[in-house]
Structures are given as structure tokens and as C-alpha cells.
């Protein structure tokens, strides 16, 4: 586990925060730098690896077995969320965690508190890697990156372990929804794949939200407020009126399991013009489409009140529920469950309240469930990962490889 820890700490030291405003791929120089590092390390192991134009490292470990087996792929992403800084991460390594609150930043009195995150106590006695209280950690998904690099080294150092063709991919810009943009499935070479981008130990995602962006623009009518009577339209207040039409019980903080939501993600502008971006999420495709229609109807209703084209809304579908594709290849789920049981891990199969590169890849022709990498509290200063969970993820993946070659 020391080697796995060293890898993880080395990878999170590279600031790979993605940039949703950039049209480049990768969107930031830090991602390109880490992709170069990974390609170099793989090549040093004697593994064929190259950086593809779409901003990903593809690597191939040839089969050493004469058995006819499917080519398996494993995928992780190098970028971290743009929501919280990923620069100058001061990770804390807590050995033999005592089950109490963890002080992250003494000067700012920032704690990782058990009262706020009761799941911490499940890891008493284990080694936790936490943030320093001012940045995210980067376990999403550098834990997955470290695990797959550990796999690559393991397979090269254990030639006696039979396996089929193994393909690894390290992608960029997953956090901005562009992770598999231009992903060349044929060049990748796998018949089936797993992303290693999940949360707590045992998590196995075989279904996920349908996801879309709704970009709302409101055109106000700005003028001197002293002469605004019956003429002034404050775009900021109009957006508030639009938001008030959405159900209070259908927000991220008031929903769980398969319940969908509307999430006001960004808001900016002034009295003359304002924009908002909503994330729309639902596991059920029909309800997902209804949510988009509901927003569109609300914009139309307010346009009748304030004038045509005051509200305009544009939708961009991001991904769909992977289960519609995964269920056609249920062996992927069965083998992942068996691999976890072999590693002494209790499988946790539940609807993922998010999306992964695997969701999009599944619809592109590469069925791709998602396996845990061990992290918690992603996209926040309270992110942490138990090293033992990362080790178990590695063991599960090795078991999957063995099962497909049995």
C-alpha cells in the first residue's frame, strides 16, 4: 500500500483542475502535464502507451493467455472539479484514524467532523488521506488513476498471472462533461470496460442519472431607476421569479435515491441582462424529458407576462442512464459483484446520483459500469479517501481480470 499511497500523493500534487470556459482539449495545461507523466511511467514499465489527440492516454497490455477472452478496458480521469481549487494541495495522511474529528487547518479552525460526516467512523483504525482544509483532495479521480497505474505495474511484475488483452485509458475534462469527447473506441480496443471513478468501498454503479444543462438568459430593460416606472424590467429579479416556479422539494438537498432535481448551478448578470444555468437530473428518461418541458413552459409563461423573448432557454443533454445499455451485458455486473466478494468487499449497488464517462461510453458502444475508488465528499474541502479502500479497489480489478480469463 505504500507504493499506492506514494503514487496518489504524487499525482494530486499536479493541479489538474479543468476549465469549462476553455475550448482546448485538455482544457488546462496541468492535465496535459499529468497525461505526459502517466504516459512516461507506463512506457518505463515496458507498456505501449501514447497520448491521443482527444486528450487521453491509451495503453495496451497484451494478453499472455491462449484462452479466448474479451478485451477489457479500465478508465480513470485526470482532471479535478473546477468548483474548488486544486492548486497547492496540502494533503494530510492520518495513520490509524482514531474515529474522532480531524483538524484540517489549524489557523482557520477547519475540521472534518464526525457529526457532519458520520461515515468517517467506519474507517477507524485505517489510514485516511484528507485535504488541508482549503482545497479539494483530488481523489476524484486521481485515486482511480493511482489504482490503474498500480494495476499496470502489477501485471508487468507478475507475468505468471494469466489475462486477456487489457486496455487502460486516462481521460481529461470529465468534470466539465467533455471527458469522452472524441474518444476513439476503436483505437482504445476494448470490448467492455469499467470506469474506476466511484465513491465509497463496495460501490458499483450500473445506473445513473439522465443529465442535461439548461442555460437560461433573461433580457431586462435597464434605465435610470428614478424614471423606471412601468418601463423597468430587472433581469435579476425576473430570474428569481423563474426560480420560484420550481418545486422546493426537487432540489439536490431535498432529494435522494432515484428522485430527480433541478439544481441552480450558476447565476450571473445585472439588471439589464442575467443568465442562469440549471442542472437537470432524473433516472427515469420520461421524467427527465418532462423536467425539460417544465422549464420551457415556465419560460413561455413568463414571456407572456413580460414580453416575447424576455426569457430564452437552451438545453444540452449531457448523458443518459447507462443501465439501458449495461443490462444487455449483465455479465459485467455479475463479475464485478463476484470480484468484490472474492476481495471481502460487500457490493453496494444503488442508483448513482451523478454521471460518469462510462455513461456516455455505454451509449457510444462500449458498455462501462463504474467501480469504487474509495473517495468521499468529492468537490469539497472535506474530501478524503481511506488508503485501504483504494487497495481493495485494486484487488477487485485484479479479480475481474482473473474472472474473465478463468
Task: Quickly list DSSP for 325-355.
Answer: HHGGGTHHHHHHHHHHHHTT---EE--BSS-
- Are 405 and 384 in contact by the 8 Å Cβ rule? The answer is no
> Is-contact 310 255, C-beta < 8 A?
no
Q: Which of 15, 19, 79, 205 is catalytic?
A: 79
CB-based burial, 100-113: b 16+ in 10 Å, e otherwise: eebebeeeeebbbe
For residue 185, what is its C-alpha cell?
473506441
Active site residue 79: yes
> What ranges in 251-374 are assigned the alpha helix state H?
285-306, 323-326, 331-342, 357-363
How many whole angstroms separate alpha carbon 405 and alpha carbon 163?
Answer: 6
Name every residue whose Cβ is closer than 8 Å to that of residue 304 and which is 6 or more positions away in sequence.
none
Q: Active-site residue 174, yes or no? A: yes
Catalytic residue chosen out of the listed positions 140, 173, 174, 282: 174
What count of other Cβ atoms lies within 10 Å of the Cβ of residue 372? 27
Q: Which residues belong to the active site?
A: 79, 174
Amino acid at each position: 500500500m505504500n507504493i499506492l499511497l506514494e503514487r496518489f500523493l504524487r499525482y494530486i500534487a499536479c493541479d489538474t483542475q479543468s476549465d469549462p470556459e476553455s475550448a482546448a482539449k485538455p482544457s488546462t495545461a496541468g492535465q496535459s502535464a499529468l497525461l505526459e507523466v502517466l504516459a512516461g511511467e507506463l512506457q518505463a514499465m515496458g507498456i505501449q502507451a501514447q497520448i491521443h489527440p482527444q486528450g487521453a492516454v491509451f495503453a495496451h497490455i497484451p494478453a499472455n493467455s491462449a484462452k479466448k477472452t474479451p478485451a477489457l478496458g479500465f478508465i480513470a480521469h485526470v482532471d479535478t472539479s473546477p468548483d474548488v481549487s486544486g492548486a497547492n494541495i496540502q494533503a494530510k495522511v492520518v495513520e490509524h484514524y482514531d474515529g474522532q474529528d480531524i483538524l484540517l487547518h489549524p489557523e482557520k479552525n477547519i475540521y472534518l467532523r464526525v457529526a457532519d460526516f458520520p461515515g468517517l467512523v467506519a474507517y477507524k483504525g485505517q489510514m485516511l488521506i484528507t485535504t488541508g482544509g482549503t482545497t479539494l483532495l483530488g481523489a476524484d479521480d486521481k485515486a482511480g488513476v493511482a489504482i490503474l497505474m498500480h494495476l499496470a505495474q502489477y501485471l508487468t511484475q507478475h507475468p505468471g498471472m494469466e489475462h486477456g488483452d487489457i486496455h487502460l485509458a486516462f481521460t481529461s475534462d470529465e468534470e466539465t462533461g467533455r471527458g469522452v469527447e472524441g474518444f476513439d473506441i476503436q483505437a482504445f480496443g476494448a470490448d467492455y470496460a469499467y470506469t474506476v471513478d466511484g465513491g465509497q468501498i463496495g460501490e458499483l454503479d450500473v445506473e445513473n442519472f439522465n443529465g442535461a444543462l439548461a442555460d437560461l438568459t433573461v433580457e431586462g430593460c435597464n434605465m435610470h431607476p428614478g424614471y423606471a416606472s412601468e418601463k423597468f424590467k430587472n433581469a435579476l429579479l425576473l430570474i428569481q421569479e423563474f426560480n420560484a416556479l420550481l418545486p422546493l422539494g426537487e432540489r439536490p438537498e431535498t432529494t435522494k435515491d432515484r428522485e430527480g432535481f433541478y439544481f441552480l448551478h450558476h447565476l450571473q448578470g445585472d439588471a439589464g441582462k442575467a443568465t442562469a444555468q440549471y442542472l437537470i437530473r432524473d433516472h427515469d428518461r420520461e421524467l427527465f424529458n418532462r423536467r425539460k418541458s417544465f422549464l420551457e413552459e415556465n419560460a413561455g409563461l413568463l414571456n407572456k407576462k413580460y414580453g416575447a423573448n424576455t426569457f430564452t432557454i437552451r438545453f444540452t443533454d449531457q448523458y443518459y442512464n447507462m443501465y439501458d445499455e449495461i443490462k444487455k451485458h449483465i455479465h459485467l455486473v455479475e463479475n464485478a459483484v463476484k470480484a468484490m466478494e472474492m476481495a471481502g468487499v460487500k457490493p453496494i449497488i444503488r442508483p448513482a446520483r451523478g454521471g460518469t464517462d462510462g455513461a456516455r461510453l455505454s451509449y457510444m458502444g462500449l458498455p462501462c459500469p463504474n467501480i469504487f475508488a474509495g473517495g468521499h465528499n468529492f468537490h469539497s474541502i472535506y474530501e478524503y479517501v481511506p488508503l485501504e479502500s483504494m487497495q481493495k479497489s485494486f484487488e477487485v480489478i485484479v479479480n475481474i481480470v482473473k474472472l474473465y480469463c478463468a
